[in-house]
Structure 1
Amino acid sequence: MQFSLWLALLGAGTLISFTPGAGAINTMSNALNSGFRRSIWGILGQQAALIIHILIVALGVGVLVASSPVAFTVIRYAGAAYLVYLGIRQFMSKPQVDEGAESLGTESAWSMFRRGMWVNLLNPKAIVFFLAFLPQFIRLDQPLIGQYVIVAVTVIVIDILVMWFFFAATARSFHRFTRDARGQRVLNRVFGVLFVAVGGLLAFIH
């Protein structure tokens, strides 16, 4: 891959990662509930889904999904339902500390990884996006595997850095609200509403 093309990929990938979405909300929620360091597990789960999306597109399956209204609709509503479920669970979750105490949640790394993966995986529009995005940086007259590896590594590294050092770090500013049960309850409801809102957008905006 030419260096100038890679720089274009770097810029596009950075802009995409900074665009708020379900992944950003999930990352901030994890950082608030489990801490900045442990939020990396949810971010890694999101990257696992990203790798799967890239593989789907690279193998040509993405074209079939994008061209099949039934498959696209089924995955779209499944993803929306999952986000709504996460939102309701977050909204209804009880504070994890007593009044006046301060603590972080004890959700397992695997649980955060799995949730992060499903948040990104159940988003058919990501497949459609990569169908439009990846070809811009792939040259058919050059070995394809190496190009896809470069694209995947670049996009994943960018997304990890943005998610962890921007969205998860931003959540630190809300930590003062988690020092009591009332603050936790407010944040749980805010993030619950955000999850439901993103799920609604995924379901109803075409």
Structure 2
Amino acid sequence: MQFSLWLALAGAGALISFTPGAGAINTMSNSLNAGFRRSIWGILGQQAALVVHVVIVALGVGVLVASSPVAFNVIRYAGAAYLIYLGVRQFLSKPSLEEEQAAALRNESAWSIFRRGFWVNLLNPKAIVFFLAFTPQFIRPEQPLLTQYAVLTATIVAIDILVMWFFFAAAARSFQRFTQTPRGQLVLSKVFGVLFVAVGILLALIH
């Protein structure tokens, strides 16, 4: 991949990552609940789903999903339902400052955080459709495809990790003071719950 083309790819990847969405909301929520450092597990889960999306597109399966209303809608509604479930659960959660319960929240297993991030990104068929439109701009058919897809994937993943961790997860740290009081915890739970539900509804309604 030519350096100029790679720079364009990096710029586009940065713009995509800075666009708020379910992944950004999940990252901020993890940063608040599990801590800044441990939020990386959710980010890595999201990247694993991103890699799956690129592989699906590279194999041509993405074309089938994009052209099949039934397949697309099944995945779309499943993803919307999962985000709404996360939002409702967060919205209804009760504030707690007791040490044991706070420790349990912060000690959520890395696998659990990773798995949630994975499903948040994977159950988004619009990501497949997006990559169908996005990847051809940076792939040259006359050149080795495997190398090009590897460079594209590595670039997008690296940029997204940096943006998610050092922007969205770091930004959530400014809200840490709210977690010190029951009222603050309640407000944050409501806010992030509503955001998850809103993104889920948009995913279900916007075509």
TM (norm. structure 2) is 0.96
Partner of 2:182: 181
Deviation at residue 105 of structure 1 after TM alignment: 2.5
1:89-168 counterparts in 2 under 5 A? 89-98=89-98, 105-168=106-169
Q: Which runs of 5+ in 1 are unaligned?
A: none
Q: Is residue 83 from structure 1 mapped to residue 83 from structure 2 by the alignment? A: yes
Partner of 2:55: 55
Runs of 4+ in 1 over 3 A off after TM superposition: none
SS in 2 for 1:39: helix
Deviation at residue 201 of structure 1 after TM alignment: 0.2
Aligned partners of 1:105 and 1:126: how far apart in 2? 30
What one-letter code is carried by the residue in structure 1 that aligns with 2:128?
I
Partner of 2:204: 203
**Structure with the bigger percentage of helix:** 2
Q: Is the 8 A contact 1:98 1:181 kept in 2?
A: no
In the alignment of these two chains, the number of paired residues is 205
Aligned partners of 2:178 and 2:116: how far apart in 1? 24
Aligned partners of 1:139 and 1:31: how far apart in 2? 39
TM (norm. structure 1) is 0.97
Over residues 38-73 of structure 1, what are the superposed CA-to-partner deviations in whole Å (9 max), with x where a residue is unaligned? 000000000000000000000000000000000001
Give percent identity, aligned residues only: 78
Aligned partners of 1:11 and 1:96: how far apart in 2? 42
What one-letter code is carried by the residue in structure 1 that aligns with 2:30?
N
1:62-77 counterparts in 2 under 5 A? 62-77=62-77
Q: Which runs of 5+ in 2 are unaligned?
A: none
Partner of 1:5: 5
